[in-house]
Amino acid sequence: MALLNPPPWLVRGARAAWHWQWLRLMEGLGPADAAGHYRRPPAGFAAVPALPHDAARPAAHVLIVGRSCPWAHRAWLVWSLRQLGASIDLEVVEPDPQAGRWRFRQPFEGCASLRELYARSGAAAGARATVPVLYSRGQRQVLLGESARLIELLNRWPGQALDLDPPGQAAATAAWRERLQGAVNDGVYRCGFARNQAAYDQAETALFATLEGAETALSRQPWLAGERLSLADVQLFPTLIRLELVYAPLFGVSRRPLWQLPALWAWRRRFFGLPGVAASCDAEAWRRDYFGALFPLHASGIVPAGPPLATLVEPCPGRSGDDSPAPSPVPRPTA
């Protein structure tokens, strides 16, 4: 006969055992400091190379991304916005939750997984194989795997004339990028992977303070750093488009729904409408990969229902006239 009211000692013992196991699992998923704050491990292949001599040669380079990874998404966005497909191929890898690695859908350069490609490129044994990655077919080598530096390199790549680091906004762009990286892009993970309440509270407070700061900036200008689209906007979008779909329910960042920040909501809608952005967004893959793979945060593996992506890029609920699109900063190809 099942126990309907288990004795207190059994409940205490079960809770203590599960907490101990959870801490061990979390160490494997994401390390933390002594105070319980999540600390993202450094990316491999972080040294920024010079612009390759064959940068403009068709198919000489490959940008490797994963659909669910927000760090890869930012590189994918720069590749799309600057129309770099003529010189850089796009390769989308798939997660393998059972093995804890990214795998190629078809063998790539003789490799079945990204880990194999890293090893062949000289990565240290045990190094994390992460996306995004810029790969040189000529050198048969991973060139760069650190997302913040990679989007800067892609912005210098020969291609469409769009400059995502406009000189007149350089200082504001750099300041926003620095702020977003810790408080928002990594901040949602610092909330989700916090080891205790104090660590979570600190990360969650910083996250929403920064979003409210972005709301203030966007209430007086169309883009984060000023009148023109910049890498700061590119850096914010992958986190903001996943907010309701993944981060709020899974990482516990639901203090304020985004519709209560109407300038940010309008900005997200405007960014989503830029050329190539919608094609980089796959809400089904995001939810499947996050809820299915992050076992310590969601042990059942059940993927809960969520709002359709289309509802997150409609006019702000209950408001009118607050999100008329600004003129597109992306030059259109001429016939």
Name which residue leads in pLDDT, 204 or 97: 204
Angstrom distance (rounded) from CA 28 to CA 26? 5
In this prediction, residues 274-296 reach a mean pLDDT of 89
Q: How, if at all, do strands 88-96 and 133-136 pair?
A: unpaired
In this prediction, residues 100-127 reach a mean pLDDT of 93
Tokens describing residue 332: 């259109």
Domain count, the chain: 1
Establish if 188 belongs to a structural domain: yes
pLDDT digits (tens, 9 = 90+) for 247-263: 999 999 999 999 999 99
Q: Cβ contacts of residue 232 below 8 Å, gap of 6+?
A: 172, 173, 176, 177, 180, 223, 224, 225
Residue 20 is predicted with a pLDDT of: 46
Q: What letter represents residue 59's amino acid?
A: A
In this prediction, residues 146-150 reach a mean pLDDT of 97
Helices 170-180/197-218 angle, 10° precision: 150
Confidence grade of residue 327 (pLDDT, cut at 50, 70, 90): very low
Q: Output the CA torsion 322→327→328→333 (10° steps).
A: 150
| Domain of 246, in residue numbers | 167-313
Confidence grade of residue 124 (pLDDT, cut at 50, 70, 90): confident
Tokens describing residue 136: 């040189």
Angstrom distance (rounded) from CA 90 to CA 126? 26
Establish if 4 belongs to a structural domain: no
- CATH number for the domain that contains residue 306: 1.20.1050.10
Establish if 294 belongs to a structural domain: yes
Establish if 260 belongs to a structural domain: yes
Establish if 277 belongs to a structural domain: yes
Angstrom distance (rounded) from CA 16 to CA 12? 6
Contact 275, 330 (CB under 8 A): yes
Establish if 48 belongs to a structural domain: no
Angstrom distance (rounded) from CA 333 to CA 161? 10
- pLDDT over 60 (residue 322): no
Q: Percent of the chain scored above 90 by pLDDT?
A: 71
Q: Cβ contacts of residue 76 below 8 Å, gap of 6+?
A: 63, 65, 90, 132, 280
Computed over every residue of the chain, the mean pLDDT equals: 88
pLDDT digits (tens, 9 = 90+) for 207-228: 999 999 999 999 999 999 999 9
Q: How, if at all, do strands 61-66 and 88-96 pair?
A: parallel
- pLDDT over 60 (residue 114): yes
Establish if 215 belongs to a structural domain: yes
- pLDDT over 80 (residue 193): yes
Angstrom distance (rounded) from CA 105 to CA 94? 7
Establish if 255 belongs to a structural domain: yes
Angstrom distance (rounded) from CA 43 to CA 144? 9
Overall residue count recorded for the chain in this entry: 335
